[in-house]
Amino acid sequence: MAQTNVNIRMDEATKIAFDKFCEEIGLSVSAAFNIFAKTVVREQRIPFELTTEIPNADTITAMKEVEYMERHPEKYKSYTNIDQMMDSLNDEQT
């Protein structure tokens, strides 16, 4: 199939971050956009939710806390099930 060029515009910071992401997962930027375009054509929709909902300050704070916790798992306890978590909480109270 014949190839054609498509030019897009985006801010430089987004381009740099997108280039880095693509490199980390082993895709070229071109391949990533081709995957996106083919998914749109196949599914006849944008393959992710588009919304105007903006999180409130509490939600943004909670999201940042989760991101921090994910970057620093050594600082936080983790549990594989609710019983394990409850046992730990009960131990702390005694």
Answer left, alpha or beta for residue 26, where phi above 0 means left and psi between -120 and 50 means alpha. Answer: left
Same domain, 41 and 73: no
Q: What are the distances in angstroms from CA 73 to CA 1, 62, 66, 79? A: 48, 16, 10, 12
pLDDT of residue 85: 92
Same domain, 40 and 76: no
* pTM to 2 decimal places: 0.52
- Pair 47, 36: CB distance under 8 Å: yes
Q: Which domain holds residue 13?
A: 7-50
17 in a structural domain = yes
Give the pLDDT band of residue 30 (cuts 50, 70, 90).
very high
Same domain, 64 and 83: yes
Same domain, 71 and 93: yes
Q: How many domains does the chain have?
A: 2
1 in a structural domain = no
pLDDT of residue 84: 93
Same domain, 42 and 71: no
Q: Give the residue with greater pLDDT, 37 vs 76.
A: 37
